[in-house]
Amino acid sequence: MITLGKDEIAKYPFLADAGQYLKDKGFTLQQFGTDPDLRLSVDKALNRVLVSADGKIYKSDLIDGEASKEYILEREVFSFLLAIVLLKLTGMTTLIKRFALAEARRAEKFLEKDLGNISDESKKELAIKIIDDLFSIQIKKQDDFFIIPIANYLTHSINFHEREWKLINRHVENGFVFLTSHETVRLIRKELGNYISSKILNAKTPSMISGFEEPVEKLISLSKKFVTHTVSTGEYPPCIKHAIEVLEKGENLPHSGRFMLATFLLAKNQPVEQIAPLFKNAPDYNERVTLYQLNHLAGSSGSGTQYACPSCEKLKTQNLCFAIPECDNIFNPLQFGKKRK
């Protein structure tokens, strides 16, 4: 169990025991719906969710990770806890995933700053403890770097496909991988997002609270924007169907899965404009970036090379294969339904 100071709860509110925090402060959820002074925290919570739905990171009132006034600190934590209540009442997984990812990115900034804190050893120690407690990564400081055991590094970097994350391109000494504070925190971004979203998904859904109806309605109508109407042809191979299902649920599809899906659909002559909406439920969706990447894969921008759909063998190594008997004897998802033994 991590003991958090007041500033730390505002920076890492997902580590707090929500019910206990409210109780300790002497409030009930019902009071937030009716008391005009507490109402501000509900508005702030709604804003926190809206900003995350827009793919941005909520800007808190903390200055350098600290609050100038006690009430600012409390409102920071309240707005996080109330955002979870609003999300639970809304019941939209897509909004929860987006919120979790945005909150993970927000916490990432604080973790990076705390890790690199040279004037306050306790902040660095706490950041190291948080990462160890949540993700079992044993970090040590060595000169200007943070070092972690190779096995830890390999477990957590498995979904990174950029060259700089390959072990061969890292500085390794005596069984430890050397990372900057930025890289250390980047390594756990996805897992931090998953940790926050599973905490929210597993939290109990309260009954509707008087005064919360309006923000909940607002979020429900916003979430309609993220509903996709994908028609499954029934001819897609299981790996592709699975990738589409993951996106429809608003869950995060790894980069390799997005690459597979996009190159498969492009090879089936689906236009970029038709493929892009499939990704709009992804927690980190950005329309402009998605269209740019699809055009790049299609060869209509950049080098002009159209990227090929990966082989079944490659997809198996990336845990993207969900083979069924009909997959027997094919080498590429594009052959599914065509080639028979």
* Cα R_g (the chain), whole angstroms: 22
- The answer to whether 333 contacts ligand SF4 (rule: CB under 6 A) is yes
How big is the CA angle at 154 (ends 257 and 245), to the nearest 5 degrees? 20
On whether the CB atoms of residues 309 and 264 are closer than 8 A, the answer is yes
User: By CB under 6 A, which span of 22-30, 148-156, 209-217, 233-241 interacts with ligand SF4?
Assistant: 233-241
Q: 3-state DSSP call for residue 157?
A: helix
Spatial contact of 75 and 41, defined as CB atoms under 8 Å apart: yes
What's the CA gap between 111 and 116, in Å, rounded?
A: 9
Q: Can residue 65 be called a binding residue for ligand SF4 (CB under 6 A)?
A: no
Q: Is 327 in the site for ligand SF4 (CB under 6 A)?
A: yes
Residue span binding ligand SF4 (CB under 6 A) among the ranges 86-94, 138-146, 231-239, 244-252: 231-239
| CA 44 to each of CA 25, 41, 50, 62, 293: distance values in angstroms, whole numbers, following the listed order | 18, 5, 10, 14, 34
Question: Which residue shows structure tokens 């756990």?
Answer: 188
Nearer to ligand SF4, 218 or 242 (CB): 242
Q: How far is the CB of 264 from ligand SF4 (least distance, A)?
A: 9
Is 239 an interacting residue with respect to ligand SF4 (CB under 6 A)? yes
Stretch of 52-60, 176-184, 235-243, 284-292 contacting ligand SF4, by CB under 6 A: 235-243
- With b for 16 or more beta-carbon neighbours within 10 A and e for fewer, the 278-289 pattern comes to bbbbbbbbeeee
Task: Decide: is 336 part of the binding site for ligand SF4 (CB under 6 A).
Answer: yes
CA atoms in the 13 A half-sphere facing the CB of 213 = 3
Least spacing, CB of residue 335 vs ligand SF4, in Å: 8
Asked if 149 touches ligand SF4 (CB under 6 A), the answer is: no
Question: In this structure, are strands 145-149 and 172-173 parallel, antiparallel, or unpaired?
Answer: unpaired
Q: Which of 53, 192, 246, 312 binds ligand SF4 (CB under 6 A)?
A: 312
- If binding is defined by CB under 6 A, does position 315 make contact with ligand SF4? yes
Interface segment toward ligand SF4; rule CB under 6 A; list 93-101, 130-138, 143-151, 328-336: 328-336
Of the candidates 237, 250, 257, 283, which one interacts with ligand SF4 according to CB under 6 A? 237
* Using rule CB under 6 A, residue 178 touches ligand SF4: no
The CB density around residue 68, as the number of other CB atoms within 10 Å, is: 10
Position 321 contacts ligand SF4 (CB under 6 A): yes
Q: Residue 243 Cβ, how far from ligand SF4 at the closest point, in Å?
A: 10
Residues 116-145 that bind ligand SF4 (CB under 6 A): none
Stretch that binds ligand SF4, among 69-77, 107-115, 170-178, 322-330 (CB under 6 A): 322-330
Neighbours of 22 (CB within 10 A): 19
Least Cα distance to 240 among 312, 291, 177 occurs for 312
Q: Does 322 bind ligand SF4 (CB under 6 A)?
A: yes
Determine the Cα–Cα distance for residues 239 and 243; give it in Å rounded to an integer: 6
**323 sits near ligand SF4 (criterion: CB under 6 A):** yes
3-state SS assignment for residue 203: coil
Choosing from 238, 267, 280, 292, the residue that interacts with ligand SF4 (CB under 6 A) is: 238
The neighbour count for residue 313, using CB atoms within 10 Å, is 10
Chain contacts with ligand SF4 (rule: CB under 6 A): 237-239, 312, 315, 321-323, 327, 330, 333, 336
